[in-house]
Amino acid sequence: MINEELFSLPFDYEMTEEETLAYQLAIFWSKKVKQFFPEIRIQGNQLSKKGDPRKCSLFRYLIKMIRETRGLIEPEKYNYYIIAQLFIFKKNSDKNSTCYVNPSILTGKNAWKRWKLFEKYLDKLKNRQLVVVNNNQNDNELLFCKQIEFDLNFSKKFLSKFNEIIDYQFLIKNYQNGNIKKWLQFGLIRPYFVALSPTLSKLNIHNLGQLDGLEHTKSHELYKQFFPDDK
């Protein structure tokens, strides 16, 4: 479980936009590593619980990843880029019982090759909508639904620090005072949350990027589960 105190760190350390993106991706990386490789040690795959997170090797690798791929990948696709590395790395190392995963796999030429291979894989299966991102046949997942679920859960954890009930009044108030745009810019609330919100989706908030799966009934059902009071 992500420590909710971590959500305020970009403000506490006055992080740049690039650093804030790296910070949020570090949290995403740690969660996905546990899902893909629950048996491996977590050391090196999570942020330090104390001090400036920018000093961690995980953070530095993510900064390197962002700079290597700048202009080549839209920022909203970095979560998919991370999933691509873990997905293909797992498939290639299933027979290796001593597999050790660390964030260095996010950088370099091999990381880019894994991403392009994963893109081809997605293109073949996109029309079928069902995209397996876990090698366990008993736990197949919809890639887009899992990304939406992550965004909604992430956003709810942050917003619940301010108000237990996330409803129209709360969202409009924070939109009018500029908080919604600021929180979105710093990655403290996620694009799918804004796009699926009955309140916020009508306000023409930009910079959400290319979001897949918004038309699916399942996406809106997920939103209602996380934010039942936003109507």
What is the tens place of the pLDDT at every residue in 145-204? 777 888 898 899 889 989 889 999 999 999 999 889 888 877 788 888 998 999 998 887
The last residue of a domain, from among 110, 139, 168: 139
The number of domains in the chain is 2
Q: Do 76 and 188 fall within a single domain?
A: no
Q: Do 101 and 25 fall within a single domain?
A: yes
Least confident interval from 2-6, 47-51, 112-116, 189-193: 2-6
Instruction: Name every residue whose Cβ is closer than 8 Å to that of residue 117 and which is 6 or more positions away in sequence.
Output: 84, 88
Q: Do 13 and 110 fall within a single domain?
A: yes
Instruction: Name every residue whose Cβ is closer than 8 Å to that of residue 90 and which is 6 or more positions away in sequence.
Output: 36, 37, 135
Q: What is the pLDDT of residues 42-80, one digit of tens each?
A: 666 778 777 888 889 999 999 999 999 998 988 878 988
Q: Which domain holds residue 218?
A: 143-226
Rounded to an integer, what distance in angstroms lies between the CA atom of residue 3 and that of residue 125? 35
Q: Do 98 and 196 fall within a single domain?
A: no
- Please provide the DSSP assignment of 205-216 as one string: --------STTS
Q: Do 72 and 33 fall within a single domain?
A: yes
Rounded to an integer, what distance in angstroms lies between the CA atom of residue 173 and that of residue 151? 21
Instruction: Tell me whether residue 231 is in a domain.
Output: no
Q: What is the pLDDT of residues 12-44, one digit of tens each?
A: 778 888 898 899 899 889 888 888 887 776 666
Q: Do 16 and 119 fall within a single domain?
A: yes
Q: Do 147 and 134 fall within a single domain?
A: no
Q: Do 59 and 152 fall within a single domain?
A: no
Give me the pLDDT at residue 225, please. 92
CA 42 to chain CA mean position, Å = 18
Q: Do 218 and 175 fall within a single domain?
A: yes
The last residue of a domain, from among 115, 139, 163: 139
**If you average pLDDT over residues 91-117, what whole number do you get?**
82
Give me the pLDDT at residue 4, please. 46
Rounded to an integer, what distance in angstroms lies between the CA atom of residue 18 and that of residue 23? 9
The last residue of a domain, from among 83, 110, 139: 139
Where does residue 230 fall: left (phi above 0), alpha (psi -120 to 50 degrees), or beta otherwise? beta
Closest CA to 8 of 141, 130, 161, 163: 161
Contact, 98 vs 92, CB < 8 A? no
